[in-house]
Amino acid sequence: MIAKFEALSQIPLFAGLSETEIQALAQRIVERHFAPDEMLFWEGEPCAGMFVLIEGSAKIFKTSAAGREMMLSLEAAPTTVAELPLFDGGPYPASVRAVGPVTALFINKNDFQQVCRQFPDLALKVLAVVGQRLRHLVAVVEAMSFGSVTQRLARLLLDAGSEEFELPTHQELASRLGTVREVVSRNLARFRAEGLIRVQGRQLAILDRDGLEREVG
């Protein structure tokens, strides 16, 4: 129980909760393990509850009618997935797949709602963080919908939050940008040839931030 309490305390979604509120949640969660590429849940399934990632990463994606995947986000622990359906009663709005081995804490929807009834302020605190995540997703949709692939790729690199970081695979980037791997590879090669970035193995360094900003337009 202590380990679960400490794990929940590290999650941004629960940052504003009191120790008593976190303890109430910790008493109702169960630990689950997922193998690489195993599904946590599929888009459209009834929401059973929320997953708290405490180890590993998970890919959030949508699937087109033709079967093409478009990645919305790559979430790394500590974080949560599937918060929104807990409140609106709808199904899971996207699919989530483990990227590597994942350890998660699962909170049943009914148990979560029971805790919210016990501590009315808890729902408001959680919804404030959910609202921030929704704003981020709106920005993701906007980035995927407007501008050329070159512009969107440059913006994605600029938004990485660091001048040097581990580059996702070209297929993961293509999925996130709604294009194909070859287009991503070609644009990265041009950025590198023009001295905008340096790529060594999986590590990418931004050498000319202003140049990438100009690519964004």
Please give the pLDDT value at position 14: 86
Task: Give the predicted TM-score (pTM) of the model.
Answer: 0.65
Please give the pLDDT value at position 147: 65
Residue whose tokens read 């029971």: 114
The domain 2-144 having CATH identifier 2.60.120.10: the answer here is yes
The identity of residue 8, as a single letter, is: L
Sheet containing 197-200: give its strands across: 164-166, 203-206, 197-200
CATH topology of domain 147-216: Arc Repressor Mutant, subunit A (1.10.10)
Residues with Cβ < 8 Å from 77, sequence gap 6 or more? 53, 54, 55, 56, 57, 102, 103
Please list the ranges in the chain whose pLDDT falls under 50. none
Under a CB-based contact definition with an 8 Å cutoff, are residues 79 and 53 in contact? yes
Under a CB-based contact definition with an 8 Å cutoff, are residues 25 and 83 in contact? no
Q: In angstroms, how far is the first alpha carbon of the chain from the final one?
A: 51
Residues of the chain with CATH 2.60.120.10: 2-144
Residues of the chain with CATH 1.10.10.10: 147-216
Under a CB-based contact definition with an 8 Å cutoff, are residues 14 and 8 in contact? yes
Whole-number Å distance between alpha carbons of 198 and 191: 9
By three-state DSSP, how is residue 70 classified?
A: strand
Whole-number Å distance between alpha carbons of 82 and 96: 9
Whole-number Å distance between alpha carbons of 179 and 197: 21
Whole-number Å distance between alpha carbons of 180 and 149: 10
